[in-house]
Amino acid sequence: MIRIGGGDRALFASDVHLDDRHPATAEHFFDALAHVSADATHLFLLGDLFEYWVGDDQPGATVDAAIALLHALSAGGVAVYVMRGNRDFLLDRGTPAHAGTGFASRSGAQMLPDPTLVELFETPTLLLHGDSLCTADRAYQNFRELARTARWQDAFLHHSLAERIEQAHALREQSERSKAGKRPEWMNVTADAVSAAALTHGAHTLIHGHTHRPACHRAPTNAGELVRWVLPDWYAPDEAADPESDPSQRGGFLQVSAQGWETIGVWPGLAGVAANTGIAAARRS
Ligand SMILES: [Mn+2]
C-alpha cells in the first residue's frame, strides 16, 4: 500500500480534460502544477487528465506537453500517479504498434487502479475517479463494464489511429446527446455506492473527481464520520462549458501534509473559498 506521512506533501487533482482545442485550459493547469509541485513528494491525477484517449500513439501538442511536464516531475523525484477516468480509460493500454512505448513509461507516471486505498497521514483513504459511484446511471454503468473488457479494448485498439479518433468523437457526441435526456441526479454519486465503497475498503475518507461538483462532504456512518472530497474540474477563462453560470476559471488541488488538508486554487461551491484566487492557498480544514 502507498503510505504518505512524515514530511510528505501530496497533491490531488482530476478532470483537466486536456485537449488541443482548449490551449488556455492546458496552460492554466500546467502553470498551476509547476507552481504547486515545487516541494511536493506525491502527485495523484485521479482521471480524465485527457478529454479522450484513443491509444498511446495519440498525437497532439497538449499530449506532448503533459507527458514532458509529468516526466520532469518524476525525474525530479516526485512520485506521479495517474488513474484512468471515463474519458481516458485507454491510457497506457498501448496499441498493437506501440508496445513498450506507453504513456506510463514516457511520462514516468505509475498507473493507479481505480479504486486504490492509500494511507494518508494515518487516514485510510480511498482514491477513485468517481464514475463507478454514479450507479443511478445504468446505461453508463453498462457501457463502463463493456469498455473495460480486454475484448472491447483489443478490438478498438486494432483500428487505425484515424479510425479511433473518429470513433472517439462519435462516442463523445453520443454521450453529449444522451446526457440531455438524463436526470441531474443520475450524473452524481449515489449514497449507497459511496458507503459501499468506503465499507468494502475500510476507508474513512474518499477522494474523487468526475462529477465536476467540488466539495467536501462529511456524513455520519455506523463506522464514524465519512469524509468525501470531490475535486474540481479545470478550465480557463473563455473556455468554460457554460460561461453564463461559471466563474472565469476553475481548477485546483487538494494538498495533504503534516500541516493538514488544504484546497489550492478555485473550488467553486466550497464554503469559504474565494473565486478567482488563482493558485494561492484558499482554505485550511
Ligand atoms: Mn470523468
87: nearest Cα among 185, 176, 180: 176
273 part of a folded domain? yes
Query: Is it the case that residue 9 has pLDDT exceeding 50?
Result: yes
| 176-to-63, 182, 187 alpha-carbon distances in Å | 23, 10, 12
Whole-number Å distance, alpha carbon 238 to ligand 1 midpoint, is 21
CA pair distance 130, 84, nearest whole angstrom: 11
Residue identified by cell 479494448 is 153
Whole-number Å distance, alpha carbon 150 to ligand 1 midpoint, is 21
Whole-number Å distance, alpha carbon 171 to ligand 1 midpoint, is 14
CA contacts within 13 A on the Cβ side of 104: 15
Per-residue pLDDT, averaged over 175-185, amounts to: 82
Whole-number Å distance, alpha carbon 235 to ligand 1 midpoint, is 14
- Residue 262 is part of which domain span? 3-135+206-284
Domain count for the chain, please give it. Answer: 1
Percent of the chain with pLDDT over 70: 89
Whole-number Å distance, alpha carbon 106 to ligand 1 midpoint, is 23
182 part of a folded domain? no
| Confidence (pLDDT) at 131 | 97
What value does the mean pLDDT of the chain take? 89
Listing DSSP states for 130-198 in one string gives SGGG-TT-HHHHHHHHHHTSHHHHHHHHTS-HHHHHHHHHHHHHHHHHHHHTS-GGGGS--HHHHHHHH
Whole-number Å distance, alpha carbon 7 to ligand 1 midpoint, is 31
11 part of a folded domain? yes
CATH number at residue 41: 3.60.21.10
Whole-number Å distance, alpha carbon 120 to ligand 1 midpoint, is 23
164 part of a folded domain? no
Residue identified by cell 506521512 is 5
- DSSP one-letter code for 98: G
DSSP-derived pairing of the beta strands 79-83 and 42-46: parallel
> Please, are residues 55 and 157 in contact by the beta-carbon 8 Å criterion?
yes
Whole-number Å distance, alpha carbon 132 to ligand 1 midpoint, is 10
236 part of a folded domain? yes
274 part of a folded domain? yes
Counting DSSP H helices and E strands in the chain, the numbers are: 7, 13
Percent of the chain with pLDDT over 90: 75
Alpha-carbon 117 to chain mean position: 16
Query: Is it the case that residue 60 has pLDDT exceeding 90?
Result: yes
108 part of a folded domain? yes
Query: Is it the case that residue 190 has pLDDT exceeding 60?
Result: yes
| Confidence (pLDDT) at 244 | 62
pLDDT in tens, 76-97: 999 999 999 999 999 999 776 6
Residue identified by cell 510528505 is 8
Q: If pLDDT is split at 50, 70 and 90, which confidence band does 50 have?
A: very high
| Confidence (pLDDT) at 80 | 98
Contacts 24+ apart (CB under 8 A), 247-253: 247/275, 247/276, 248/276, 249/28, 249/276, 250/214, 251/13, 251/16, 251/25, 251/28, 251/29, 251/32, 252/13, 252/32, 252/214, 252/279, 252/282, 253/11, 253/12, 253/13, 253/32, 253/36
140 part of a folded domain? no
Alpha-carbon 195 to chain mean position: 20
Whole-number Å distance, alpha carbon 122 to ligand 1 midpoint, is 28
CA pair distance 6, 27, nearest whole angstrom: 32
pLDDT in tens, 247-279: 678 899 999 999 999 999 888 766 544 332 333
| 125-to-76, 114, 251 alpha-carbon distances in Å | 26, 13, 22
